[in-house]
Amino acid sequence: MIAIIGGTGMAEILNEGRERIIYTKYGKAKILEDDNVIILLRHGLKHNIPPHRINYKANIYALKLLGVDKILAINSVGSLKKEIRPGTFFIPNDFMEFTKRRDDTFYNDRVVHVDLTEPYCPAMRKELKKILDKFNFEYQEGVYICTEGPRFETKSEIKFYSNLGDVVGMTGYPEVVLARELGLCYSSLCNVTNYACGISEDLLSVEEVFETIKKMEEKIVKVVREFINSNFESCKCREAYERGIIC
């Protein structure tokens, strides 16, 4: 079972299937269900949930309850490097997080240390690259920096982050870790919507972000549909989870 988690601007693109509310011990999650695909819009159908208020634990746990074993997250990001151009794709192979107030683990009452040598499922990443190459869509790989939001980052922050990573976003963490804690395969397909503050000479605007997403809409749908219908090799995501349990 595959789940697609959509972010900023994804409501109109991925709004398909029967609406359903899943109640979990961490809260409720609203999903769209269509055959063997689950779609979860992390900001809500009306895009009214800011990144720092998303109930990431309820979302990921709900997908686990539904029998999902693979999660493809769609994330909108800002570029920290001139060569990573808006309008292209980015596949994270690692991350660093600078969040402040997020509930980022399922294990507060037992000791679990999950391995994050490869936080994003290598088999899923390989398949995504194969699909992007098939359609000749431009993409790069690298490190995703996650900030708290909802504000955009300052010029000095971006200067600092650019020494550590390649793109910056607000929703990639703690999704990736929570998925690993439940033994789920997780990978991210980022659409680069803008240059981050200080790299771009213009002021950042939400309009710019949505405008770029609109231009990429057809490509995003194409990649997601191809991914849903693909078959790829197994990985060690669940094994990394099982090895981390102490008691």
H helix or E strand, kind and range, residue 77: strand 70-79
Radius of gyration of the chain (CA): 17
DSSP secondary structure code for residue 152 in this structure: P
Any known ligand binding at 196?
A: yes
**End-to-end CA separation in angstroms for the chain:** 29
42 annotated as a binding-site residue? yes
Is there a binding annotation on residue 147? no
To the question of whether residue 125 is assigned a binding role by annotation, the answer is no
**C-alpha distances in angstroms, 60 versus 95, 164, 223, 224?**
18, 27, 22, 19
CA-CA distance, 51 to 147, in Å (whole number)?
Answer: 9
Q: Which two tokens stand for residue 184?
A: 């789920």
Q: Is 195 annotated as a binding residue?
A: yes
Q: Are 173 and 97 in contact (CB under 8 A)?
A: yes
- Binding site for substrate, by residue number, is 170, 194-196
- Binding site, by residue number, is 8, 42-43, 170-171, 194-196
- Binding site for phosphate, by residue number, is 8, 42-43, 171
